[in-house]
A = this chain, B = another copy of it.
């Protein structure tokens, strides 16, 4: 026999594995069910554990699985639709019950944020930490940066940090006229602090939503919100029940 080329499509093992497991999830498992552990799965499929893990990682990235150290791998529920549409000229903290102010500090403002803010050099920037919770589970961690110039009425005698201060900053911000806002979404990996708030490991994939609040011809505030990419689907329209399609 000659050099018969039957193996024309050398599909990676982990890719094929992913497909097989994905189909098994559809037919043989219910949401929340625990899969066999990695060592057993690897043995069952006849691959090294690292290869098996590569397949599981992809499925977790696609929101099909959920893995927790010390616990196990479970079948994830469908992603939650989280509304991030610009609620017509609304400052953060105005009637939105899903966000809760957690803290405020004179944090070190990232250079990338400073570039977006129309802040004078050396101007102090308030950093308000907020957490977005739906159905009791945190879905997003936000850092809202507000230059001191945007909240001139802020009581200097107020607490220098903590939740009370955070609410004070938000209250002052609402005094301004909101001219508009623009928003961008990109992929990122969770910083250590965000990961902790979201109950994830540092470096896990997140959707970073950056919002710029415009008032009086300047950028009055910048929000950097970090959404769990595994469990969230960001929605922009009026109907929040779009299903995933990848």
Interface size on A, residues (CB 8 A): 51
**In the complex the two chains form, is A245's CB within 8 Å of B113's CB?**
yes
A181 interfacial by beta-carbon distance below 8 Å: yes
**In the complex the two chains form, is B184's CB within 8 Å of A187's CB?**
no
Q: Kindly report which residue of chain B lies nearest to residue A206, judged by CB atoms.
A: B246
Question: Contacting A236 at CB < 8 Å: which of B188, B222, B230, B236?
Answer: B236
In the bound complex, what is the Cα–Cα distance between A246 and B185 (angstroms)? 11
Question: Contacting A233 at CB < 8 Å: which of B184, B224, B235?
Answer: B184
Within the complex, what minimum Cβ distance (angstroms) separates A56 from chain B? 13
21 examples of A-B residue contacts, CB within 8 angstroms: A15-B203, A61-B188, A61-B189, A62-B187, A62-B189, A86-B237, A112-B245, A116-B245, A180-B238, A182-B238, A182-B242, A183-B237, A184-B237, A185-B236, A187-B205, A188-B244, A188-B246, A205-B205, A206-B246, A226-B246, A236-B236
Contact with B along A115-127 (1 / 0, CB 8 A): 1100000000000
- With contacts A61-B205, A203-B58, A205-B187 known, is A245 near B15, CB below 8 A? no
Interface residues of A (CB under 8 A from B): 15, 18, 58, 61-63, 79, 81, 86, 110, 112-113, 115-116, 180-189, 191, 202-203, 205-208, 210, 212, 222, 224, 226, 229-230, 232-239, 242-246
Q: Which residues of B contact A229 (CB under 8 A)?
A: 186-187
In the bound complex, what is the Cα–Cα distance between A105 and B234 (angstroms)? 30
The count of identical subunits is 2
**In the complex the two chains form, is A210's CB within 8 Å of B116's CB?**
no
In the bound complex, what is the Cα–Cα distance between A226 and B187 (angstroms)? 13
- With contacts A189-B246, A191-B246, A244-B112 known, is A237 near B180, CB below 8 A? yes
In the bound complex, what is the Cα–Cα distance between A180 and B245 (angstroms)? 20
**In the complex the two chains form, is A236's CB within 8 Å of B184's CB?**
yes
In the bound complex, what is the Cα–Cα distance between A63 and B112 (angstroms)? 14
